[in-house]
Structure formats: structure tokens, C-alpha cells
Amino acid sequence: MDVTRRSMLKWSGAGVAAAGVVAVTPAGLAAADPAAALPAGPLTTPPPPSAQAQAAVKKARQLVSKMTLDEKIAYCHGIPATKGFTGHIPANDRLGIPALRLADGPSGVGNGSTGVTQWPDSKALAATWNPATATDYGKAYGAEQAAKGHNIALAPCINILRLPHWGRSFETYTEDPFLNGQLAAATIRGIQTNHVISTVKHFAANNQEILRNSIDVVVSARALQEIYYPGFRAAVQQGQVGAVMTSYNKVNGTWAHENRINVQDALRDAWGFDGMVMSDWGGTHSTVQTAKAGSDTEMPGGTYLGDALKAAVQNGSVSEAQLDTMVTQVLTAMIRVGLFDHPLPDPATVVDTVVSTPAHLTLARRIGVEGSVLLKNNGVLPLARPRSIAVIGNAADAGAQTHGGGSGSVNPNGTVVTPLAGIRARAGSIPVTYAQGTLGIAALPTVPAAAFGSGLKATYYTSTDLTGDPLGTETIAALNVTATPAAVAAQTDGWSARYTGTFNAAEAGGYRFSLSVGGVTTLSIDGKKVLTALPGREAVQNGLVTLTAGSHTLEVTYVSAAPAGGRAPRTSLVLGSQAGYDKLHQAAADAARAAEVAVVVLADLTSEGMDRSTLALPADQNELVAAVAKANPNTVVVLNTSGAVLMPWLGSVKGVIANWYAGQEQGNALAAMLFGDEEPGGRLPETFPASDQQGPAKTTVEFPGDGVQVYYDEGLAIGYRWYQHSGEKPLFPFGFGLSYTTFRLGNLRLSRTGGGLRAQATVTNTGRRAGSEVVQLYVAAPDAAQEPAQQLKAFGKVTLKPGQSTTVTLDVPRDELAVWLSPSTGWTVVPGNYSVGVGTSSADLPLRGRITVS
Ligand code: BGC
């Protein structure tokens, strides 16, 4: 492939370990040797194991020495799990070893469990910028896992948000490796206080869903070390995590679970990890190579690490010593986290037990508040005693979006407090009206056959671009195709189709069409493209058009293309429609006009298994806000989204709160903030771009890849690092968030401590109510370090009463100043002048200083 067209930044870093790919070496540095073992350096020397950890290893070895071969093999793979959990390794009663029961996920106990709390998602937790809150969460969440009899929690997910489009954005924390590591370690510490093993996932470079089971991530060694590894290193070294789940993808040509560079060299040898390494579900691809890579366990079954591993040990291709090491690692995690001494109930006996508690709901509400980010406030919030409130949006009521999809989804115990319910409960005697405003983001009703008159002509092609001689034609009644048409059933490597006919608009006005697709699909009406829907993206994609009443020509094209070496995806082509979507806007605008304040609640729906095709809010929600804001200048927008969205209406609304997917207490948390009982305490853990064109990875090979590989050409420049480099001005920068009060920062004092640095600054609450501020410290290394301009190295959250001042002390240990220049230098601190910026976001650092580090 043509690598020259890809933009390699100066800090892309050396050591892209993939055949045929140019390794870019920053000027003046030695050429990279991608396969080289990692040299020792400040961050690669594992800390000595504690006496307790050594004792755990010793006990684990003793147990392993008593095991038969079959008993050992049992620890290297799962067996089928039952309801409420998703991974299972049976007990060894002979040796008194408890069973392992593994359950998702990051924002509550998953896998269909009932009686549990649906917590705010990981993004909300990250937005608190408060490791103490993350520990509180971990303790409470871990207690629910324990009470359900699960001794391994498949959480937290800490993959770096390389791009805001990632479908699992809500499951993960942030774009910044330092914030990531601090939150990961804090959450893990909390979970493991329950003697439940925390599993940090997915190692490594799992940053997209498109082709997640096959994609090969081509990433420089430097970006791995500095961006994609640090959260996992912190999980191991600061969080003492018990288990690591590898990812589905390949990293530089090798599946993650058999990737020796990641697992043995980095995780185990460089960071000293002595616990369990399991695969993601179905993410094991080999026996011998996996065993030799430092990984232990295949989940959920034993295709490669069951009988095949036993045979490999018997024929000598995997040594028994290697097997002993694998099993020792699993048992070490169990012993170290205290599973032997704290037996849990059999999940079957507690499947119906309610383990959510009032205290947990209170904490869920607190995280919802502390993690909400006030993005705009032109004096509208907190609401004084308004005469009336109009609450608007499907997401405020029936379509409340309180959690994401996939393995991270959680069934709430009891009631989900919707935004409308929360506002109504808090409003008391203040009248609250509600207008749906939009049908929301689910699929629209399927267009009935009657709308197509005498049906649609389907023409099928063997090509994947609608060219060549048609394979056949047929007339179909409606576009509700969920099985591969017979004419192309044999085309396992791809096919295409064109559907033509008429669409009869029953009335004149605004029409919304929705498509749910398994192939690239276009919808055109009267020759004008209304929508292009992509597979692997939003489950429902929408287009808007204004039609006259009567008959219109309609054309739909569908292309089903197999990925390299794979089969054509599952066929799906479902067209839905809604006439008069704009009438709902009008009704919402009328409700807004009649009220003193309008609160519009908007949502997206993201999930494991999909990536967003655009950062635009789905369906007709932007148009809805525009209509409401025109009718009422006191409009507040609440965003229940997985992460960054575009806000074309920003200039016309008075307030915006990013409330993420805030779990079952969403409505109560929101009402408390709107009415000023609490202030939104969050700061952005991710940059909000101003347009879909901003940000790194704008070519197909960079995202979502060429079908086989995806190139992380931006190197270190993701998130705010990219924006500094490119000069693009995001909508809201990383670290940003307003308070209901105001703060002044001053009096920066810099000093050197233990080879690192210390910054102290005075923070004063200059407003009229108590509030919290997150003081952030960014460091720019000397030029020779070849680093992005400035990077987060410390932060501290303070809560102050009106008029109160305090000194914030931010320490940056020497290791945090280290950079990974190349395989030959490893981690090293470049001596020279470091510039330090302290402030309240990556783009607002009023306190500046310099300090020499030798
Ligand atoms: C997900 C993991 C999850 C596992 C078990 C996989 O599809 O990627 O995050 O823990 O399923 O449910």
C-alpha cells in the first residue's frame, strides 16, 4: 500500500512493527528495531513485589505442584456459564480452590443480571476527574458483583479514546493516558476491596468496533508505550489489578492474546504483572503461540487452550513448566485478591436477590452530578424559581438513554428515573409541560407496502458496485429485507442491488426516513440523495427531506462487500419513515413558547459492535433544538450521549449540560443540577470537535482501516495533543467545564522534588456559592524529547466555599516526565527546560512557569 500519502507527524515515533510499513524515526534518533526487547528505564523496571504478593505466588506454586495435568488445563479455559455471568472456571474441590465466575461490565453488573444498580457510564465517572469517587464507585459496584456470586468483574474498560466515534466510548474513560491511569487504578482498588478480581480490558489498542475481530492495528512502539499502554501499566503497578483481558484485534500483525511483545515483554516483564491474562470472548487464535506469549486463559470455551493445550504439553510443544506458570498466574490473582478466604454465594442461589441498595442509588446520583459537565451557561442555570418549564424530547421520557449497548448494558433494579420524572418530582408546584418533539432515535415504522404502489423492482448484481450484467430481477413489496435474496445467495464474497419504484407521500411536508443496514446503502428520492447509510455504524441512520403530496421516484442501492478473506455481512435493509416530523417540532416549539424555560433532552445510542459515522446528533434532534430555541430564548440542552457531539445550535441556546449516559438515577441527578441543589462538577475527559472534519485519522486507512489494517499514523497526536499540533479549534477543549461559581488561580510556585517537579497554586472561589474546580497541570518537554506541545501530568479537584482560598499542590514524579524515544533509549527523561502550564482546561492555562530538570 502507499504509505507516502499518509501524514506522519514528527512524533509518530519509531518502531512500527509491521512488514512493509515505513518506520518513521524522529530526526536525530537511531532507526527503530521493532522486535527489540524493551530496555530497562525508569518506567520499565517493575517495582519489587510486596511480601503479600510473594506469598500469593508461593501458595499458588504449591497448589500447582499438587495438580494433575487435567486439573491444570482446567485453568486455561472457560466452560459454559449460566444466567447472570458470562465466564466460568469450575471449582477444584480436591484442592479447595473456589470456582471462578466472571461477569460484565464497566457500569454495573451485566449479562442479564437483575436486582443490580444501573450506574452512570464510565465516561461520567471519568468526567468527575476524581479518583476518590472512582474508588467509591469501584467499592459499591464490586460489592454488587460479590453479592451476585461473581468473583471476577470484567471491568474497567480503559482503552484510550483514539477517536470519539468509537462505539464503546461510553464504556471507557478518556483520550488522555495520565487521567486514564489514575482513574483505572482508583476504580480497581475499589473493586478489589470486595475480594473480587478486577479485569482491566482490552489490552491493547482496541479503539474501534469496525472489524474489531480481525483488524490489525499498525501502531508505533512509541505510541503504544506513551498512549495505549500507560493506563494498563497504572492498573498493574498502582491498582494491583488481578486480571487483564486482551483485545480482539491484532497489534502490529499479531493477535493480542498471542502477542508476546504486549503480554510477556511489556505487561509481565517490564511492569511485573503476576496475575491472570484472559482473552476476550472468542479472541484466542492459537495454542502454542498463545501459551508462549505470556497469556493464560481462553474465554469463554476451550478450543485452543483445552484439549489442544493438553496435547501440546504431552507432545512437548508447550513445556509443562510453561503450563505451570500459566496456572500459577491465575491462582496468584485469586490468592492475592483474597478469593480463597472470602467465599461467595453460588450465583444460582442469588439470581433473584436484589443487591442494589439505597446507598448505591445515592452514589449513582452523586456520580451523575459530579460527572456532568456544564458546557455553556449564559446565566440561565441554575434555574431560579421559574414560572413554568417545558421539557422536550423523546429522550426526556420514553426514550431516556441511561446506558449504552452490548456487554456494557445493565438492567436496572426498580425504576429508571427519566429526565422528565426527575424534573417533575423536583419542580413541586412549578408547572411542567412535556412535548415529545421527535420520535427519537430508534428505527421508524417500516414503510408499508402500500406506499410503494405496485412494488419495487429489485435488480441484483454479482459485482459490489452495481456494474456488469444483472444477475436477475424481481419485484418486491417492501424494503424489509432481512435475508439474503435468493438471486445472490451464492455470492458469499459480495453482491449489490438496486431497488427502484415510487414512494407515495400521503401528505405534504417533512419526511424522515430511517435505514437499518448490513451493507452500504443509499436512498434517493426524485433523484436527490437523502441518505447514505453505512454498515457497522449506527444501528439506525436517518435522512430528512421535504416532499409534496403524491408520487415520487425512489431509488435505493445496496452494496454487500465481504472483508478481505471473510464473508459478506448479514443482509439487512429496512426502510422506515415518518411523515410530518416537523409537526412534532412545531408542537414542541409551541410548548416552549408557553413556558418560561425550555429544557431539551437529546440522546444518541452507541454500543459495542458499532462505531459512529458522524458526531452529529442522530435523527431530527438538531432541527428540534433549533425550532425550540427560536421559540424560547431560555433554552437549556441536556445531552445524554456517549461522548462528543456536534452542536450547530450552540449559539442559540443559553445552557448546555453534558450528562452522558447517567444510569437509573439520571433524572434525579439532572433535576438537582437544573434547580441548583447541586452544581455539575465535571470536566471534559475528551475533546469535543467543532465538526466531523476535525481531529486525526481522516483517511480511510487511518480509520476505519483498509479492511485488513488500520494505521495509527497520528502517533502520539490524539485528542488534545492533535488539536495543539493542528491548530484546529475544537468546540470544547479537553478538561473544560464551567461551575455555578467562579474561580481565580494565581501565585504559581514551581520547585524540584525527587527528580520530578512540584507546582503549587492558589485557588480562590470568587463567586457567591460553593463549588468545585479541577486544577490541571500540563508539561511541555524540551524539543529534544520530540513530544506534543503540552500534556497532562497532574490534576487536583478542590471544593471551596464562596470567598475561600486554598493552595493546590500538584506533584509530577520524575517517571511521569519520561518519554519513550526509541527502543534503544527506552524510557528516559530528557534533561532541559520544561515549561509548565496550570489552569482549568487544556486550552486555558493562565499560570505559566519554567523549570530545569537534569
Ligand atoms: C467484550 C468484552 C466482554 C466480553 C464478555 C466481549 O464481546 O468485548 O468486553 O467482557 O464480551 O461479555
Q: What angle do CA 613, 619, 621 make, to 5 degrees?
A: 115
How much is the average pLDDT of 223-250? 98
The whole domain housing 35 covers: 12-41+732-853
How much is the average pLDDT of 612-641? 98
Kindly list the catalytic residues. 280
**Distance in Å, CA 280 to ligand 1 centroid:** 6
579 in Cβ contact with 377 (< 8 Å) = no
Provide the pLDDT for residue 20: 29
Q: Is the pLDDT of residue 35 over 70?
A: no
Q: Tens digits of per-residue pLDDT, 135-150? A: 999 999 999 999 999 9
Q: Is the pLDDT of residue 203 over 70?
A: yes
Query: Among the three residues 638, 669, 696, which one is the final residue of a domain in this structure?
Result: 696
Residues 519 and 537 in one domain: yes
Q: Tens digits of per-residue pLDDT, 237-293? A: 999 999 999 999 999 999 999 999 999 999 999 999 999 999 999 999 999 999 999
C-alpha closest to that of 278 among 200, 192, 184: 200
- Dihedrals phi, psi of 434, to nearest 5 degrees: -130, 135
CATH number at residue 34: 2.60.40.10
CA distance 385 to 382: 9
Task: Please list the alpha-helical segments (H only) found in 105-195.
Answer: 122-127, 131-147, 177-192
How much is the average pLDDT of 701-714? 96
Ligand 1 surroundings by CB, under 6 angstroms: 86, 104-105, 154, 201, 280-281, 407
Q: Is the pLDDT of residue 567 over 90?
A: no
Q: What is the pTM of this model?
A: 0.95
CATH number at residue 471: 2.60.120.260
Beta partners for residue 757, in sequence order: 752, 812
Residues 557 and 591 in one domain: no
Query: Among the three residues 578, 613, 648, which one is the final residue of a domain in this structure?
Result: 578
Q: What is residue 452's three-state secondary structure?
A: helix
User: Counting every residue, how long is the chain?
Assistant: 854
CA distance 727 to 844: 15
Q: Is the pLDDT of residue 185 over 90?
A: yes
Dihedral angle over CA of 414, 415, 416, 421, nearest 10:
-170
Q: What is residue 482's three-state secondary structure?
A: coil
Q: Is the pLDDT of residue 22 over 90?
A: no
Q: Tens digits of per-residue pLDDT, 727-767? A: 999 999 999 999 999 999 999 999 999 889 999 999 999 99
Question: From atom 12 of ligand 1, which residue's Cα is the shortest distance away?
Answer: 407
- To the nearest whole percent, how much of the chain has pLDDT over 70? 95
pLDDT band at residue 566 using 50, 70 and 90 as cut-offs: confident
How much is the average pLDDT of 322-334? 98
How much is the average pLDDT of 627-633? 98
The DSSP call for residue 228 is I
Beta partners for residue 832, in sequence order: 853
* 653, amino acid identity: V
CATH number at residue 599: 3.40.50.1700
Residues 323 and 367 in one domain: no
Q: Tens digits of per-residue pLDDT, 646-704? A: 999 999 999 999 999 999 999 999 999 999 999 999 999 999 999 999 999 999 999 99
Residues 403 and 506 in one domain: no
Provide the CA 506 distance to its chain's centre, in angstroms: 42
- To the nearest whole percent, how much of the chain has pLDDT over 90? 91
Residues 401 and 532 in one domain: no
The reply to whether 320 falls in a domain is yes
CATH number at residue 90: 3.20.20.300
Place of cell 488481578: 242
Strand ranges for 659-804 from DSSP E: 709-711, 743-753, 756-765, 771-780, 791-800
How much is the average pLDDT of 204-227? 97
How much is the average pLDDT of 438-453? 97
Q: Is the pLDDT of residue 40 over 60?
A: no
Provide the CA 657 distance to its chain's centre, in angstroms: 19
pLDDT band at residue 30 using 50, 70 and 90 as cut-offs: very low
Contacts for 692 with CB less than 8 Å, ≥ 6 apart: 614, 615, 616, 646
**Distance in Å, CA 672 to ligand 1 centroid:** 34
The reply to whether 811 falls in a domain is yes
Contacts for 80 with CB less than 8 Å, ≥ 6 apart: 88, 300, 301
Out of 281, 284, 611, mutate this one to test ligand 1's pocket (max ligand atoms within 8 Å of CB): namely 281
Q: Is the pLDDT of residue 11 over 80?
A: no
830 in Cβ contact with 775 (< 8 Å) = no
Contacts for 453 with CB less than 8 Å, ≥ 6 apart: 501, 502, 504, 551
CA torsion through residues 299, 303, 306, 308, sign = negative
Provide the pLDDT for residue 472: 92
CA distance 268 to 275: 9
For 233, half-sphere exposure in the C-beta direction (CA atoms, 13 angstrom radius) is 24
| Number of C-beta neighbours around residue 357 at 10 A | 15
Asked if the peptide bond before residue 34 counts as cis, ω within 30 degrees of 0, the response is no
For 383, half-sphere exposure in the C-beta direction (CA atoms, 13 angstrom radius) is 24
Quick one: 585 exposed, middle or buried, by C-beta within 10 A (0-12, 13-18, 19+)? buried
DSSP per residue, 370-434: HT-EEEEESS--S--S-S-EEEE-GGGTTT---S-BGGG--PBSS----HHHHHHHHHTTS-EEE
CA distance 562 to 492: 7
Provide the pLDDT for residue 2: 30
Provide the pLDDT for residue 4: 32
How much is the average pLDDT of 309-321? 98
Residues 587 and 573 in one domain: no
Question: From atom 8 of ligand 1, which residue's Cα is the shortest distance away?
Answer: 280
Query: Among the three residues 668, 696, 724, which one is the final residue of a domain in this structure?
Result: 696
When comparing pLDDT for 771 and 42, which is higher? 771
CA distance 262 to 280: 15
Provide the pLDDT for residue 43: 63
The reply to whether 140 falls in a domain is no
C-alpha closest to that of 165 among 731, 692, 522: 692
The reply to whether 287 falls in a domain is yes
Q: What angle do CA 619, 633, 438 make, to 5 degrees?
A: 20
Question: From atom 7 of ligand 1, which residue's Cα is the shortest distance away?
Answer: 281
Q: Is the pLDDT of residue 71 over 90?
A: yes
Residues 837 and 741 in one domain: yes
The reply to whether 819 falls in a domain is yes
Q: Tens digits of per-residue pLDDT, 826-852? A: 999 999 999 999 999 999 999 999 999
Question: From atom 3 of ligand 1, which residue's Cα is the shortest distance away?
Answer: 407
pLDDT band at residue 39 using 50, 70 and 90 as cut-offs: very low
Residues 168 and 296 in one domain: yes
Residues 171 and 295 in one domain: yes
The reply to whether 134 falls in a domain is no
CA distance 10 to 2: 19
Residues 368 and 329 in one domain: no
pLDDT band at residue 8 using 50, 70 and 90 as cut-offs: very low
**Distance in Å, CA 169 to ligand 1 centroid:** 14
Residues 482 and 417 in one domain: no
CA distance 377 to 455: 52
Residues 160 and 191 in one domain: yes
Q: How many domains does the chain have?
A: 4
Question: From atom 11 of ligand 1, which residue's Cα is the shortest distance away?
Answer: 281
CA distance 39 to 25: 18
109 in Cβ contact with 145 (< 8 Å) = yes
**Distance in Å, CA 183 to ligand 1 centroid:** 21
The reply to whether 112 falls in a domain is no
Provide the pLDDT for residue 663: 98
Provide the pLDDT for residue 41: 53
Q: What is residue 353's three-state secondary structure?
A: coil
C-alpha closest to that of 471 among 485, 452, 456: 485
pLDDT band at residue 569 using 50, 70 and 90 as cut-offs: confident
pLDDT band at residue 59 using 50, 70 and 90 as cut-offs: very high
Between the CA of residue 118 and those of 129, 310, 638, 664, what are the distances in Å? Answer: 21, 41, 20, 5
**Distance in Å, CA 408 to ligand 1 centroid:** 8
Out of 280, 284, 607, mutate this one to test ligand 1's pocket (max ligand atoms within 8 Å of CB): namely 280
The reply to whether 799 falls in a domain is yes
Pairing of strands 254-255, 472-476: unpaired
C-alpha closest to that of 14 among 28, 31, 38: 31
